Structure 1
Amino acid sequence: MEILIRTNAASVATAAADIISDYAGRGATLGLATGSTPVAMYKELITRYQRGELSFSQCQAFLLDEYIGLPRGHEQSYFATIRREFTHHVDIDDARVYSPDGTAENPDEAGAAYDEAIAAAGGIDIQVLGVGTDGHIGFNEPGSSLSSGTRMKTLHASTISDNARFFDSTSAVPVHVLTQGLGTISRAGHLMLLATGSNKAEAVAALAEGPLSAICPASILQLHPHATVIVDEAAAEQLRHADYYRFTEANKPSWQGH
């Protein structure tokens, strides 16, 4: 696991956009996350596209998750959100931006079909991740199986509370979701997790330096052969080995790449 510590949220977004830009140039299959943390990265990528510096025309993308019961046209569906925040502003083919079917009659079958679609596409080259204050990634709440596939999950009360800001009330937040499982996420070629703010510091320390545990689903990154964690100073404040991570980056061989 490579841990990159940046001064602030803006520099986290820039570092993440540098990595995604490299993959876009190769026509990669992207794993996209919604939520607040990646938005600044998406804005930076849109700006670079508008300046003519990169293209997503050869890319395809898969989303991490979707609410169960929300039609795709609902403004808070992740199908609609990723288009509003990112993909409608660049040249990726909208038909090549996929998400789990939260309106499917049988969520288990929809989850299995989504994993099959990812495999048929050749797998995800780089998966963007955020992390919840309780250590969840995607909607894999604490206690999730470390080898799980895409399936239905019941949201934790804290996650519902966190997401209520996007809805008219807490009661309007769907309780169930379809989410890529930890096993699905782990099959991506490169995992890139972003975290900013002191409220994420405990989760960042747990995922990077704590035990591998289903109680901290993001700790699954410890098993991955190519995982990059990009955090600001505030999110890094509980890392015991922060000085070593800075030293490692400063002495990284030029041939090693992202």
Structure 2
Amino acid sequence: MRIINVKDYEEMSRKAADLIAAQIILNPKSVLGLATGSSPIGTYERLVELNRNGVIDFSHVTTINLDEYYGLDPTHDQSYRYFMNKHLFSRVNINMANTHLPDGKAKDIDAECRRYDDLIESVGGIDLQLLGIGHNGHIGFNEPSDEFIPGTHCVSLSESTINANSRFFKSRDEVPRKAITMGIKAIMQARKVLLIASGEDKKEILKKALFGPITPQVPASILQLHKDLTVITPLDI
């Protein structure tokens, strides 16, 4: 585990983007695992800037997103497909056919989960996985549970996650109650993992995840076992 302490969100975003940029420069055909939420927005802004300045080229990059709300159409302004198009994909020279998220409108959820796992395997796994961390320690939408679930699966979102995400919707009632999420196996098999976290409200859970017991009750705690984990944070942990 390597922890990089920074002064603020902006520096965290810049350093995270620079590490992702280095990955793309070293391997232009990189498979990037990407995250959504407020944490990576600054990172994506910096990647857009680097692309527009000719520093990095997304034309041969493949992306695999962690998760998608179940029941939301890709055009819904709170779907993660919409988020990724808005903050990154539509602003860089990536081939949209190489950008992948779970299908939140899939009629057969089990088949969609199998398809997503097969997709990850077919591209050779993830070279660098970007993660945030939820207030309850979730990574992707792998919520606290009695076990680590290895494969892509449909999950019922916890009350704390629904509450945290309600700020993005007009009301709490509009927040989807389920999501399709990449499982722990694909995350842990990523060759590199980059975890970013900021905000004092994340301090205690980040400390538990990195230094507490490894338990599915704190899903991010399994990252302690990853062979190449980098954490970038302005938090004093």
Q: Give the TM-score taking structure 2 as reference length.
A: 0.96
Tell me the amino acid that sits aligned with residue 20 of structure 1.
I
Determine whether 1:164 maps to 2:146.
Answer: no
Alignment of 1:17-96 (within 5 A): 17-25=17-25, 26-27=27-28, 28-96=30-98
Q: How far apart, in 2, do the equivalents of 1:196 and 1:166 lie?
A: 18
Question: Contact conserved, 1:138 with 1:180, CA < 8 A, in 2?
Answer: yes
SS at match of 1:145: coil
- Corresponding residue for 1:210? 212
Determine whether 1:12 maps to 2:12.
Answer: yes
Tell me the amino acid that sits aligned with residue 52 of structure 2.
Q
State the number of aligned residues: 235
Alignment of 1:1-258 (within 5 A): 1-25=1-25, 26-27=27-28, 28-143=30-145, 145-232=147-234, 235-236=235-236, 239=237
Q: Structure 1 vs Structure 2: percent identity of aligned residues?
A: 39
Per-residue CA shift, 1:203-245, capped at 9, x if unaligned? 110111101011110011111111111111xx22xx2xxxxxx
Query: Any unmatched runs of 5+ in structure 2?
Result: none
Question: Contact conserved, 2:5 with 2:232, CA < 8 A, in 1?
Answer: yes
Question: Contact conserved, 2:166 with 2:172, CA < 8 A, in 1?
Answer: yes
Per-residue CA shift, 1:139-180, capped at 9, x if unaligned? 011116324210000001111111111111101010000001
Question: Contact conserved, 2:113 with 2:153, CA < 8 A, in 1?
Answer: yes
Question: Contact conserved, 1:3 with 1:230, CA < 8 A, in 2?
Answer: yes
Q: How far apart, in 1, do the equivalents of 2:232 and 2:76 lie?
A: 31
Question: Contact conserved, 1:29 with 1:59, CA < 8 A, in 2?
Answer: yes
Query: Deviation of residue 112 (structure 1)?
Result: 1.3
SS at match of 1:14: helix
Q: How far apart, in 1, do the equivalents of 2:135 and 2:169 lie?
A: 20
Q: How far apart, in 1, do the equivalents of 2:146 and 2:136 lie?
A: 12
Q: How far apart, in 2, do the equivalents of 1:29 and 1:163 lie?
A: 27
Tell me the amino acid that sits aligned with residue 87 of structure 2.
E
Q: How far apart, in 1, do the equivalents of 2:190 and 2:146 lie?
A: 18
Higher radius of gyration, 1 or 2: 1
Question: Contact conserved, 2:126 with 2:186, CA < 8 A, in 1?
Answer: no
Query: Deviation of residue 184 (structure 1)?
Result: 2.0
Q: Which runs of 4+ in 1 moved over 6 A?
A: none
Task: Please provide the CA RMSD for this pair.
Answer: 1.0
Question: Contact conserved, 1:144 with 1:217, CA < 8 A, in 2?
Answer: no
Per-residue CA shift, 1:72-108, capped at 9, x if unaligned? 1111111111010111111111111000111111212
Question: Contact conserved, 1:12 with 1:194, CA < 8 A, in 2?
Answer: yes
Q: How far apart, in 1, do the equivalents of 2:81 and 2:233 lie?
A: 27
Question: Contact conserved, 2:125 with 2:186, CA < 8 A, in 1?
Answer: no
Tell me the amino acid that sits aligned with residue 53 of structure 1.
V
Q: Give the TM-score taking structure 1 as reference length.
A: 0.89
Q: How far apart, in 2, do the equivalents of 1:51 and 1:144 lie?
A: 47
Q: How far apart, in 1, do the equivalents of 2:233 and 2:212 lie?
A: 17
